[in-house]
Structure 1
Amino acid sequence: MSKTISAQFKSRRDAEMAVEHIVQEHGVDRTAVEVGAASGENTAGTEAARADIEDRHPKTGTDGEPALAGKVEVSVRVDDASVEAVVSSLKTYHGEIAS
C-alpha cells in the first residue's frame, strides 16, 4: 500500500537536496515526488539558500531574486517499506514533516 509523506522547507535548495537524496539513495521514482509552494504564493522558500550568498554576504541588487513568500513543500508517494527512510531524508535536509 502506498502513502504520501509531505514536508515543508525554508529554502528551495534544501527541498531540492532532499528530493535528490530520496531519488538517488532510496530509489524512489522521480514521478512520485512533487515540489511546489506550500501556500498559494509563488515562492522559493522563506529564507535565502546558501547558494544565494557571495563572500559570506547575501547577494543584493540582482535581477530575478527569488520570491521569499512562504515555504516550499515536497510530497512523496511511497510504499510502507520506504516511509522511515523517506522521512529521515526529509528531516536530514531540514524538512518539517506535515502531520
Structure 2
Amino acid sequence: MSDENTKTVVATFQTREAADLAVQHMVQKAGLDRAAIFLEAVGRSNSAGKIQSGGDTASANHETRMDAPLRGEIAVSVDPRSDQAAVLHRIFGDAGAIHAAAR
C-alpha cells in the first residue's frame, strides 16, 4: 500500500527471464512482498520480451522455440517505501533493466 513517501518504480526488460530475476531479487534481497510486485507486457500485445531467453532457447535436447511471443519489453512495477528505492534501482540494473524510473 502506498503512502506519501512512496512512488511507483517501474523498470523494463528485454526478456521475461531478466524480469523474473529482478522480481526474485526484490523478494529475497529487499524483502518485498511478491504480491506487491507486478509484471506486464509493455504495449497491448502479449509478450515474453523482445529476445529469446530461458525455455525458449536451444538446449542439448531441444531446438530453439520459434513460437515465443516476442512482441515487446516486459515491465516490472512496485510501490516501495522511500528507503527501498536505491536498492531496487540497483537490483533492476543488476538484472539487466533497459530503463528504470520512479513516477
TM-score by length of 2: 0.83
**Partner of residue 54, structure 1:** 59
Counterpart-to-counterpart distance in 1, 2:6 and 2:40: 21
> Root-mean-square deviation (CA), in Å?
1.8
Q: Which moved more, 1:32-41 or 1:46-55?
A: 46-55
Specify which of 75, 78, 82 is matched with residue 77 of structure 2: 75
Residues 46-91 of structure 1 show CA distances to partners (whole Å, capped at 9, x for unaligned) of 0001442324x96146xxx320000000001101000000011011
Moved more, 44-53 or 25-34: 44-53
Partner of 1:88: 90
2:38 — aligned with what? Answer: 34
Distance 2:17 2:59 in 1: 16
The alignment's TM-score, normalised by the length of structure 1, stands at 0.86
Aligned-partner Cα distance in 2 for 1:22–1:34: 12
Gaps of 5+ in 1: none
Could you tell me the percent identity over the aligned residues? 27
Q: Of Structure 1 and Structure 2, which has the larger fraction of its residues in strand?
A: 1
> Which stretches of structure 1, 4 residues or longer, exceed 3 Å deviation after superposition?
none
* Residues 8, 98 of structure 1: 8 Å contact kept: no
